[in-house]
Amino acid sequence: MTAAVELEPNPLFEGLRSARVPAPCCVVIFGASGDLTRRKLVPALYALAAEGTLPAGFTVIGAGRTHMSDEEFRNTMRDDVQRFGRLPVDDDVWSAFAQGLRYVTYHLEARDGLDPVRRALDEADRTRGTARNRVIYFSVPSTAVLLLAERLHAAGLHEDSRSSFCRVVIEKPFGRDLETARELNRSLHQFFREDQIYRIDHYLGKESVQNLLVFRFANGIFEPLWNRQYIDHVQITVAESMGIEARGAYYEQAGALRDIVQNHIMQLMAIVGMEPMPNFQAETVRDEKVKLLRAVRPIHPDDALSHTVRGQYAGGWVDGERVPGYREEKDVAPGSLRETYVAMKVDIDNWRWAGTPFYLRTGKRLVKRATEILIQFRRVPHSPFGGSIAMPMGGLPPDAIDPNLLVLRIQPEEGITLRFSAKVPGQAMRIRSVNMDFLYGSAFLKQSPEAYERLLLDCMLGDATLFAREDEVEEAWRLCTAILDGWRAHPPDQAHCPNYEAGTWGPPEADAFMARDGRTWHRP
């Protein structure tokens, strides 16, 4: 075994060094010529370098099927960081960062197809001092995940020790239903231990999502109200104004339930609903999320239609531009019934939430891009103002006073709004809702890091708090698989598909769905 080389600290980074600096390591990105690498991964790693959170000798090995020299890879990545990165490219920082960029071509089908990767890792250990510490990123199609895992295991690239680590990062989709997710977990465990597997969901890397934990558990004024006694219901909305963006083949197989609900929305619901944890250790946090998901009331397939609404967008206008319907998109079947919109009602059977429903929705080609969590509190049990308010229609009934709302905005305008009632100035007793707002940008006067920056750094540090554990994935699939089974048994009527126009808030059935419970959707 070749002894590791101890590199001199880079003076460009030393003054920026933070406490969260991982041990020297190498990140191997399989699928390095793909969009994820260009748009997210390398720009995120460059931002970490610019902020001084990468160790001396840090190395990136891009592994792809496309032939490319190291210099071509560096030049391409510099252009992509300049185009997609959060921070502008600084020549000195880039020069130091680019010294650690390598590129190799691999062949997954061949038994020795990972030999170029092995040689590049050995060279990084010898010349860069990466000490056999490895993060292996699977930026590959889901169909190639198990084969790549098998090849890494056969090549001995899965090994770690007391003095070194090997971790693998796997992107969604993680299975297509409960059974395939379980099978994928079982298969991966033939090659990697569970503590080596980091299932990434970029939503959990967002600052505003992490702030949910702080908001709930670092403030004494909200947690006592965070239960069925005071909260009427919860709404979680993930709305997108864009369409499927040349992902027709993928969306025909996935749909909105698999693409957004099973991962992003289930994770948000778990954080909103989980019990307080005794500490902020990874397993403690993930234990509480799993407990919440296990408390979700099962939906029998026969009840799927009464608990959900599905939709598909037709052509329409978004941001002043005419856009095609889903069936007109590339690689989409002309008579496709695949859903691009889902709304659903979830009941949680535990002491905290019994009787307080969670309403979840997501959709493509809606009015705007917005992800938010709305907490609607119960109305006052009795209004003393009903008979004394001077209003044109006479006394104001108690339900005319708007309920208090707490809105947690995840994106794009990250912040928190609290809505409460106040008296309108004047002689009459008039009541109106007003907002108290907190905005990240104006409060901290600094740019939030991108989600992949936080998640990649956490993986290098071995902090799995913001990554999904195998039982989290399976519990989320338990609910979604029952819905998929119900939908399969009761396909939508061709005559009513598509059922909402692009540039609207979804199908009218979704509003009727809420109206049955005497509630309405909040408009972000």
Residues classed as catalytic: 264
Q: Helix or strand or coil: residue 73?
A: helix
Question: Using an 8 Å Cβ cutoff, are 506 and 311 in contact?
Answer: yes
Backbone angles phi and psi of 101, in degrees to 5? -90, 125
Scan for tokens 């979604």, then name that residue. Answer: 480
Please name which of 431, 318, 342, 417 lies closest in space to residue 379, comparing C-alpha atoms: 431
CA–CA–CA angle 113, 253, 181 (5° rounding): 65
Please name which of 387, 385, 383 lies closest in space to residue 395, comparing C-alpha atoms: 387
Residue 506 Ramachandran class (φ > 0 left, ψ -120 to 50 alpha, else beta): left
Most distant pair of Cα atoms in the chain: their distance: 88
- Cα–Cα distances in Å, from 41 out to 20, 323, 454, 463? 19, 30, 11, 18
Q: How far apart are CA 118 and CA 115, in angstroms?
A: 5
What is the rounded end-to-end Cα distance, in angstroms, of the chain?
A: 58
Classify burial at 12, counting beta carbons within 10 Å of its beta carbon; exposed 0-12, middle 13-18, buried 19 or more: middle
Question: Using an 8 Å Cβ cutoff, are 74 and 480 in contact?
Answer: no
Tokens of 147: 């084969």
